[in-house]
Structure 1
Amino acid sequence: MTTWEYATVPLLSHATKQILDTWGEDGWELVAVTPGPNPDNSVAYLKRPKQ
């Protein structure tokens, strides 16, 4: 059975693509995005298989 590790990452509205591309290159898969504490930020939830 696959086991997972998870991360929560703040997303800045002016650098969302850069942030997600960087985490994606490290093997993280985006699971969900939710509103953050203010209108300029969101929070990304990511997962990847545990090594």
Structure 2
Amino acid sequence: MTTWEYLTTPLLIHNTAAILNNWGKQGWELVQVVPGPEGGLVAYFKRPSGGGADQAANTGLDAAATAARQFEGD
């Protein structure tokens, strides 16, 4: 049976494709996009879990750092 790990992230309207492509390159599949609690949009992703919790956590943190740099224009 496949087990999943999940991720949520805000989507910036002016940079949506870059954000989605960044997470897709990390193996995340977009599940849905919903309005955020304070406006804007929130994306929900999933991917099969594996490689140990530490590896998955580090991959997610690395992807988040990459996305943050894109938002800042670096």
Shorter-chain TM-score above 0.5: yes
1:2-17 aligned at under 5 Å gives the runs 2-17=2-17
- Rounded Cα–Cα distance in structure 2 between residues aligned with 1:14 and 1:35: 16
Dislocated runs of 4+, deviation >2 Å: none
1:1-51 aligned at under 5 Å gives the runs 1-36=1-36, 37-38=38-39, 41-51=40-50
User: What is the aligned residue count?
Assistant: 49
* Larger mean Cα displacement after TM superposition, 29-38 or 4-13: 29-38
Structure ID, larger Rg: 2
Which is richer in helix? 2
Gaps of 5+ in 2: 51-74
C-alpha root-mean-square deviation of aligned residues, in Å?
0.6
Q: How much has 1:4 moved relative to structure 2?
A: 0.1
Provide TM-score, normalisation by structure 2.
Answer: 0.64
